[in-house]
Structure 1
């Protein structure tokens, strides 16, 4: 009969668990509860008593065409950044996994951008892709007005998508590389001996075996694109031009801290949270069916 270890010191267990529970409560459940309360009441900009208004804030949100524009922009931003991040990071991981000369240096260099704060990355891209200085300015001299994120909405979206993707590739690269290195070497070596080329081995062996990691990163990147893009947007475009990069998370900030409509911003944050939950459910419900776990 197997004997299971038992932990009898309840006070020590509580001392280790309670601080973490307090952090979760203070920084997640409490703000979420406050947002729910504000979403159904009318919060005064400078404090005071709240007035219960029911679903009025949500009705105002759904009737606002500017909000639906931010939803559309956010979906485009999330889809574009996720596609670039997944494809580029997987490609880099496949190349490094072949252990070419200098692969350790490449591994370190690819991860560095992830260590940079989002506002710093946004500021760097704002200067690098400035239409009035540097390499891009030279291109504009040859082809006038071919690039100007300050006035062209498409250029602005390309700028923030590239910045978000560049910053997140390193994180995904580490996971893909770890997944590729966990594949038994005899499996790929046997396929090579049978005459399978590098591309054949990639599509038939390596990519199918890293599908669980790819599914995990798909969820992480989509969620991150919706909720962790504020710093880049605020530094690079401020949601412009003409709301071309006015993502949902930035509109929440603008309505709450600029327009001081806290109740409307709270309702928008609840809608964003529900949207992320629905997208995650859809991925687990339909996309995970195509994932095979070894």
Structure 2
């Protein structure tokens, strides 16, 4: 029979829970409520009274081809960055788990990228991938104009995808390596004694046991690719060239804080939230069926 934990002093329990409730209300429920209100009203750029307009803001957004372009770019960015971040992290975790020479150093170093703030990371990659400096400058000397994300929209998308994937490589690596180390070594050793090579052991033993971790990382990485990409886009490309990297989260910022169209930005944030919720529902509804928790 399980015993429930309880506080003999109710004031102590209330004192412990009130700060968390205040934080959640201040940074989640209150902004969400404000966004919902602004999405259905017309807000004046310089303050003043607001006017109830119903679904007018949503109709204007959904009839804007530039907005649909940002949606498509966001989905492509999320798919590519998730595959790169998860695939690279899984490969590095598998190599580190084999305890080859230098695995201790690599285990420590590969976790560092996630500790770097997105703006600092974006600034570093802006210099690393600059067409006029470093290794890419030599490529441009051999083939003039082969790499210039300031003028080529596709190359700009590649640049921000690489930067975002590199940041979440460390985050995913930590979880993959922890999951691999939780697999009983006796299973791996028994398979090796039976003549199974590293690839066969990975396919038949490690990957099936990693499905809960893979599913968790898939949900987190896709969600973060829609929400946590603003700093990278703002520092590296500012949505350009010619709106080629204007993702949904950056368009919300641009329309709200630069265009002073608060109502449109609030409506876009609601659509982004609904899209993320829908993608999460799809993953839990269809992908989780393939997850083996035991």
**TM-score, length basis structure 1:** 0.98
- Give the distance between the partners of 1:15 and 1:204, measured in 2 at CA: 50
- Give the distance between the partners of 2:216 and 2:222, measured in 1 at CA: 10
Once the two structures are TM-superposed, the CA of residue 17 in structure 1 deviates from its matched residue by 0.5
Report the counterpart of residue 275 of structure 1 in structure 2. Answer: 275
Once the two structures are TM-superposed, the CA of residue 259 in structure 1 deviates from its matched residue by 0.4
- Give the distance between the partners of 1:226 and 1:238, measured in 2 at CA: 16
Secondary structure (helix, strand or coil) at the match of 1:210 reads: helix
Once the two structures are TM-superposed, the CA of residue 242 in structure 1 deviates from its matched residue by 1.3
Report the counterpart of residue 24 of structure 2 in structure 1. Answer: 24
- Give the distance between the partners of 2:204 and 2:42, measured in 1 at CA: 57
Report the counterpart of residue 193 of structure 2 in structure 1. Answer: 193
Superposition pairs of residues 252-291 of structure 1, within 5 angstroms: 252-291=252-291
Superposition pairs of residues 64-213 of structure 1, within 5 angstroms: 64-213=64-213
Once the two structures are TM-superposed, the CA of residue 227 in structure 1 deviates from its matched residue by 0.4
Report the counterpart of residue 243 of structure 1 in structure 2. Answer: 243
| Alpha-carbon displacement from aligned partner over 1:193-250 (angstroms, at most 9, x marks no partner) | 0000000000110011011000000000000000000000000001111111100000
Secondary structure (helix, strand or coil) at the match of 2:70 reads: helix
- Give the distance between the partners of 2:282 and 2:15, measured in 1 at CA: 38
Q: Judging changes above 3 Å, is the alpha-carbon distance between structure 1 residues 20 and 6 closer, same or farther for their aligned structure 2 residues?
A: closer
- Give the distance between the partners of 1:270 and 1:59, measured in 2 at CA: 13
Secondary structure (helix, strand or coil) at the match of 1:111 reads: coil
Q: Judging changes above 3 Å, is the alpha-carbon distance between structure 1 residues 57 and 197 closer, same or farther for their aligned structure 2 residues?
A: same
- Give the distance between the partners of 2:259 and 2:45, measured in 1 at CA: 9
**Unpaired runs of at least 5, structure 2:** none
**Unpaired runs of at least 5, structure 1:** none
- Give the distance between the partners of 1:201 and 1:288, measured in 2 at CA: 23
> RMSD value over aligned CA atoms?
1.0
